[in-house]
Amino acid sequence: DAGITQSPRHKVTETGTPVTLRCHQTENHRYMYWYRQDPGHGLRLIHYSYGVKDTDKGEVSDGYSVSRSKTEDFLLTLESATSSQTSVYFCAISGVHSYEQYFGPGTRLTVT
């Protein structure tokens, strides 16, 4: 398995609270991605990063922000969590010359 970890793996939080999810890689890959997976919608891209401090929006970026201060870490922040953000969140990485993505184990987030 590619060296990708996510933390926490499970989290329950209340509406209106801030939440930060962490993705850590040991592969030194340039590209990192955050997805959410929901029944009936499949995987949807939230934000991605193409280098340190270089990020861009994906298909469903509203309500989320990201930061990447080091190659190995990509943080996803929900500034004020809502119940619609209850989901499973996956981080993925890929190299410069390939579209092959390798996924982390996922974080199950429940917003009550």
Partner 1 sequence: EDKVVQSPLSLVVHEGDTVTLNCSYEVTNFRSLLWYKQEKKAPTFLFMLTSSGIEKKSGRLSSILDKKELFSILNITATQTGDSAIYLCAVATGNQFYFGTGTSLTVIP
Residues in contact with partner 1 by the rule CB under 8 A: 31, 33, 35, 40-45, 48, 50, 56, 58-59, 90, 98-106
Selection from 37, 8, 35 nearest residue 93 by Cα: 35
Angle at 8 between CA 109 and CA 11, to 5 degrees: 30
Minimum Å gap between C-beta 6 and partner 1 is 9
Minimum Å gap between C-beta 45 and partner 1 is 6
Judged by CB, which is closer to partner 1: 18, or 51? 51
Minimum Å gap between C-beta 64 and partner 1 is 15
Judged by CB, which is closer to partner 1: 11, or 16? 11
Judged by CB, which is closer to partner 1: 48, or 81? 48
Judged by CB, which is closer to partner 1: 49, or 85? 49
